[in-house]
Structures are given as C-alpha cells and as structure tokens.
Amino acid sequence: MGVSHMCISVLAELQLDSLEDILFLMCLHCGDVISFGHVVWDGASLILACRNVKKGLDAKAEILQKVQNYNGQIFVKHLDLCSIPNIVKFTENIKSEFKEIFALVNCAGVFYHPQGLTEDGFEITLQTNYLGPFILTHHLLGLLQNSVHARIINVSSEAHRNVNIYDLKAITKCQTEFRSHFIAYGVSKLALILFTKELAKKLTNTNVLVNAVNPGNVETPIYRHFPPLSNPWFYAAQWPIRIVGVKSPKQGCQTLLHALLTSNRSTGQYYSDCKSCLPSPIAGNDKIAAEYYNLTLEVLADWLNTESEC
C-alpha cells in the first residue's frame, strides 16, 4: 500500500467530522512519483483544507503517527465553504505556493443542517455541499491542468435519487424557499453529479478526470444534526442494526480511493462500491447537466463571471 493511500485511509478513520470539516488536495513537486493502480505519489504533499483548523492539525498529527516513511509534507489550511471570499483567498494562497495539483477531493458536506443563509446569501446546505466546491474547483483548474494527470473527485450520495427536477431548480433559484432537510441534502448531491458530468465533458481534451463517488452510509459525525442519531439513547438503541448496515470510515473511503487511484481513464462517472454504476435518470441526463451548469453560473454571476479555465 502506498504511503499516500495510507494517509487517506487514516484520515477517513479519524472521527473529525471528516465529511463535513475537511476536504483535501494532493499537490506534486518536481521528482514526485505517481503510480496509478498500485499508488504511490512518493513525496507528494497533502493539503487538508479545514473549516476547523484544530481538527485539521489533529488529523495531521495522527497521520504522521500512523503512517511510516511518509516523504511528503502535510499542510493544514483554513477553508470555509460558507464564505466565498474565504474560498477565493484560499485558492490564491494555494496558487502562490504550489505549481500543480494532482488530486482535488471535494468531500466536505453537511446533512440535516438547520435551514439558514450564509454570509453570501445562499442556503447553508447548498453552498457547503455544492456551490462552494463549484467555485473552489473552478479556481483551481489551472493548477490541476498543470499536472501530467489530475483527478477531481466529488463525494455524492444515493440521496440524489430522492429528488426531482422541480426540487433541483426551485432550491437553486430560491435560497429562502422552505424545504425538508432530506430534500435539501438530496438536491446538493444531485447537483454534484450533474456538475461532475458537465465539467468532465468540458475537460474532455485535457489531462483532468472528473468523477463522483458514493461512499455509502458511513459512521461519521455528519449525522450530528439528525435527531434519531444525535440523541445518545436513540443512537444506542440502533447500534445492533448499524453494525450490520453502516460502513466504518475506512470502508467508506474505499470507493473514493478507487476513483482516485484506478488506472481506468474514464471520466464523468458515478462510482459506488468501487465500481461504475448508473445514477438516477436525472443525474445521467446530458441536457439537464448542461442546463444546470449554466444555471449555477447565473446564480454565482457576482462571484464567478466566466467558466474559468474550462
């Protein structure tokens, strides 16, 4: 197992709200080794982009403790996806320090979060799970294209199947519209798959692969806002069922690792249980993907005036 593979596996095992607070980038320097399929990225630098820097530092310390002979560096940097100015500042910082990025993993996300608006005027779930990663990705495309091979992984969910086209457009166009927490989450995950599909098409003739993954139902603190699981008594009562039906964080990151490390050059795919599978009919529709991408650009017109390096 490559050391970078081990770093990601350790990161997944940490109970650090890893699906909410941390996303990560793998940056390369001259002389780094990339080995698809068998992995190594010897000497690559890992960037943990965190809303909570202390949690990121805790993750870094545990990675360095558990992963032996890691030749790269681990950087912990502040990133708040609920603040577009902060996203832009973060990307400018990355551009000033690194010449290329091998991998961008958009795995930050919230579930069942109380409805509210960010400082930018967007609904919290939509901005954290989709709009923030959309802006972040576009600002980093230049560094990704500087790499010989590069990959963007968007972490989605089977919850994307539970929403329809009306939900998708209504929530995206009106940030204050009342909606259930489940619908809000499903829309954000459907949006990520549509984004994956359209961005992959726009980057067809480049070195960048873009894919979406479903980690499954994973035992992380992302459920802390969900009453049936945030209540310790309810949680304890469900434990026998969760042992059987819920993945450990290490199990949950396997599909992500597969998409990140496979020698398969497919792009625009949706992976689940370490294999490509069909998303919902809406998510698999090329026309809807193109229309929704353009709608996103309209919604973000004040913040993202062009398609960047696409």
3's enclosing H/E stretch is helix 3-13
Question: 270 has which bridge partners?
Answer: 212
> What is the distance between the terminal CA atoms of the chain, rounded to a whole angstrom?
34
Active site (annotated) includes residue 166: no
- Within 10 A of 234 (CB to CB), how many other CB atoms are there? 12
Q: Which among 189, 184, 160, 181 has a CA at the least distance from the CA of 171?
A: 184
Structural Rg of the chain based on CA atoms: 18
Q: What is the DSSP letter of 225?
A: G
Contact 261, 36 (CB under 8 A): yes
Q: Catalytic one among 130, 185, 223, 293?
A: 185
Quick one: how far is CA 190 from the chain centroid? Answer: 13
Name the one residue in this structure whose structure tokens are 């945030």.
Answer: 230
At residue 175, the 3 state secondary structure works out as coil
Contact 16, 4 (CB under 8 A): no
d(CA 197, CA 210): 8
Packed helices 3-13 and 254-261: angle between N→C axes, nearest 10 degrees: 150
At residue 101, the 3 state secondary structure works out as strand
Catalytically active residues are 185
